[in-house]
């Protein structure tokens, strides 16, 4: 196995460590989702390891941060994620629509939706606990209109709905609660009682318009991309059709994506238990390595010769064990055909950390970028200094 030099940067790596938490185009803020990397990190990788006009793929795109950064910097950003809510948001970011289109969709919805014809009992009790009946009736009615079509405008409105479905801002539709993840209904019930919280009556179409205005405030990216909702082990792309792969694969089972998004999945018409069974997650190191070897082979297949594959991973605590994912993935990466180029270690200030919401004893300690190449790299990457 290759002995790898660890690398620190001179100038540029620090650019993504030191920017504020809200750095980046307003489209990034469509929806918050647990376990996402910061836009500035994606920007740094995209600019460092690809050129304008390149195709940049994230096969585990989550909320679509890397594909959006690719489109914003003149690349074709392509995202794929097996989680339905991740797909909707990724697609909204790489194929956003104008405010005018959102406005006409909302005007159309105002004419055809029938909140008085639906019953709040069309939603299960665990959903009802989040909403005032008048708000919930509108949510159910809008959902019916949204399900009629799957064009980019409907998809963009769906993504905006996911972004306001729960949270505590003045346009959030639910009782004040977390906006990053869907809270457990029993916990929420107790929390609402204990704090005497009120379920707000909202005009859902007006909230949607405000949301769209906010996320489109910085304008549309210069390039349109593409989004897919398939298993990363079977990507729908031709061999050597991608110039850069940048991704953060599942971290064992540290994130429970389906459960964390159960209410958003309900809105999209999915049962989180079914989605949870499809998404990859394990505590077992051998099973993880076997999955990642297949995923890396697929990334290798679609990547062109001379292209880079950059994996955002970390030092993970699994029970009492500590696993260095960068080290663990070296062998499967080499077996897949990659040449390991570098490991970039973080030193990120805690408040800017990728998984900063985790407690110190949980999860991920130190993020790392594992840089792999397919054959001899076509681009010289400057600004990195080998330290050992």
Ligand X SMILES: C[S@@+](CC[C@H](N)C(=O)[O-])C[C@H]1O[C@@H](n2cnc3c(N)ncnc32)[C@H](O)[C@@H]1O
In angstroms, give the least distance from the CB of 269 to ligand X.
17
Q: With binding defined as CB under 6 A, does residue 65 bind ligand X? A: yes
Q: With binding defined as CB under 6 A, does residue 228 bind ligand X? A: no
Nearer to ligand X, 175 or 227 (CB): 227
List CB contacts of 277: < 8 A, sequence separation 6 or more: none
Contact 369, 312 (CB under 8 A): yes
Span of 78-86, 103-111, 157-165, 182-190 interacting with ligand X by CB under 6 A: 78-86
Q: With binding defined as CB under 6 A, does residue 36 bind ligand X? A: yes
Contact 8, 387 (CB under 8 A): yes
Alpha helices, H only, the chain: 13-18, 39-49, 65-72, 84-94, 99-112, 125-128, 133-146, 152-164, 185-195, 204-215, 257-260, 262-267, 272-278, 285-302, 325-336
Closest residue to ligand X: CB criterion: 62
Cα–Cα distance for residue pair 245/373, rounded to 1 Å: 10
Interacting residue with ligand X among 49, 60, 105, 131 (CB under 6 A): 60
Phi and psi angles of residue 279, each rounded to the nearest 5 degrees, phi first: -75, 145
Q: With binding defined as CB under 6 A, does residue 54 bind ligand X? A: no
Q: With binding defined as CB under 6 A, does residue 35 bind ligand X? A: yes
Q: With binding defined as CB under 6 A, does residue 317 bind ligand X? A: no
| Cα angle value 348/243/32 (rounded, 5°) | 45
Cα–Cα distance for residue pair 236/370, rounded to 1 Å: 24
Q: With binding defined as CB under 6 A, does residue 69 bind ligand X? A: no
Nearer to ligand X, 298 or 341 (CB): 298
Please give the size of the binding site for ligand X, defined by CB under 6 A.
Answer: 21
Binding mask 81-120 for ligand X (x = CB under 6 A): xxx--x----------------------------------
Q: Interaction with ligand X in 234-293: which residues (CB under 6 A)?
A: 248, 250-251, 257, 279-280
Q: With binding defined as CB under 6 A, does residue 155 bind ligand X? A: no
List CB contacts of 230: < 8 A, sequence separation 6 or more: 80, 82, 236
Span of 56-64, 262-270, 314-322, 356-364 interacting with ligand X by CB under 6 A: 56-64
Contact 77, 61 (CB under 8 A): no
Q: With binding defined as CB under 6 A, does residue 34 bind ligand X? A: no
Applying CB under 6 A, which residues contact ligand X? 33, 35-37, 60-63, 65, 81-83, 86, 231-232, 248, 250-251, 257, 279-280
């Amino acid at each position: 196995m290759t002995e790898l030099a660890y690398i620190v940067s001179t100038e540029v790596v620090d650019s993504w460590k030191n920017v504020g938490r809200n750095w980046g185009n307003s489209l990034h803020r469509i929806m918050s989702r647990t376990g996402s990397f910061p836009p500035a990190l994606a920007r740094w990788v995209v600019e460092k390891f690809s050129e304008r006009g390149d195709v940049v793929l994230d096969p585990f795109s989550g909320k679509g941060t890397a594909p959006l950064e690719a489109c914003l910097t003149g690349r074709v950003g392509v995202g794929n994620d097996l989680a339905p809510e991740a797909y909707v948001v990724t697609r909204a970011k790489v194929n956003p629509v104008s405010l005018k289109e959102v406005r006409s969709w909302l005007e159309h919805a105002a004419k055809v939706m029938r909140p008085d014809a639906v019953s709040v009992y069309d939603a299960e009790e665990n959903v009802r606990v989040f909403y005032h009946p008048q708000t919930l009736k509108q949510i159910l009615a809008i959902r019916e209109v949204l399900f009629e079509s799957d064009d980019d405008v409907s998809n963009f409105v769906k993504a905006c709905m996911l972004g306001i479905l729960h949270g505590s801002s003045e346009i959030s539709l639910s009782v004040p609660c977390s906006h990053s993840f869907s809270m457990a209904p029993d916990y929420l019930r107790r929390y609402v009682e204990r704090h005497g919280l009120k379920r707000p009556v909202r005009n859902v179409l007006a909230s949607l318009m405000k949301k769209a205005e906010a996320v489109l405030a910085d304008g549309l990216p210069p390039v349109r991309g593409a989004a897919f909702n398939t298993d990363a082990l079977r990507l729908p792309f031709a061999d050597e059709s991608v110039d850069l792969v940048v991704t953060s694969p599942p971290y064992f089972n540290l994130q429970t994506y389906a459960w964390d998004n159960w209410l958003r999945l309900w809105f999209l018409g999915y049962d989180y238990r079914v989605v949870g069974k499809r998404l990859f997650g394990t505590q077992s190191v051998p099973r993880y390595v076997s999955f990642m070897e297949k995923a890396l082979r697929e990334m290798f297949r679609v990547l062109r010769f001379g292209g880079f594959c950059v994996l955002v991973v970390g030092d993970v605590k699994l029970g009492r064990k500590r696993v260095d994912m960068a080290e663990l993935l070296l062998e499967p990466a080499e077996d897949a055909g990659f040449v390991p180029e570098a490991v970039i270690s973080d030193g990120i200030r805690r408040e800017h950390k990728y998984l900063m919401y985790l407690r110190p004893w949980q999860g991920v300690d130190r993020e790392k970028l594992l840089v792999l190449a397919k054959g001899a790299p076509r681009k010289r990457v400057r600004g990195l200094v080998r330290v050992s």
